[in-house]
Every structure is written in structure tokens, then in C-alpha cells.
Amino acid sequence: MSWHYALDSNDIKNETMKRIVIEKEPVLIVKHKDKVYALEDRCPHLKASLAKGQKEDEYVICAKHGAKINFINGEIAEKAHMFFIKMPTKKATILATKEEYHKIFVQI
């Protein structure tokens, strides 16, 4: 694993998400309360892009089957579901981030 430049901190507004690709890996960057988080942009359920979902507080809700994923620790607050059937949903993969001189780096 090594650190990779992701984007400038001004390139993402507070309380929004952005999909980027680093070393061919899709990464979802989320800015929440002025802090930047990163996770694999693959839903732990069936690998849909989480960037198409919605940010709600410290969660991203997958647009495909509604899994509610904590982007800070990867925990699943609500499993994926279809109608009333809940489906097994693994923990999300969180990526380490750091900021230096207004530049965001992600560890991959």
C-alpha cells in the first residue's frame, strides 16, 4: 500500500461526494464536517458505484438496493434490501486519507 494524490481539498465541497479513479481503483471521496474520508467505490453488496447513491450524515445510501454504509468505519447500518427481504451485506472497505498543503492523499 502507498499514498496516492487524490484531489485538492478545494475540489470537493463540504457534505458532498466525488468519485475518482486511482491506480485503476474506483474511490469515493466524501467531505463531511470539513474532514475528508475515502472508501472503495464499490458497494459491499453487489459492487454498484456508491457515487450514484446519497450522502446522509456519516452514511452513504446505495442507489441500487438501499444499503446504508457508514463511510467513517465501514459498518453497515442497514443491509441491502429488496421489498422486505434483507440481503447479506459485508462491511465496506475504508481507505486511509491524509491532507498536506490542501492536497488530499489516499492510501491504496
Distance CA 33, CA 10 (A): 14
Residue type, 82: M
Q: Which H or E run includes 93?
A: none
CB 97, min distance to ligand FES, A: 22
Q: Kindly state the number of chain residues that form the binding site for ligand FES, as judged by CB under 6 A.
A: 10
- Within 10 angstroms of residue 61's Cβ, the number of other Cβ atoms is 17
DSSP state of 12: S
Q: Is 17 or 104 the residue whose CB approaches ligand FES more closely?
A: 17
**Subset of 40-79 contacting ligand FES (CB under 6 A):** 43, 45-46, 48, 62, 64-67
Q: Which residues bind ligand FES (CB under 6 A)?
A: 43, 45-46, 48, 62, 64-67, 80
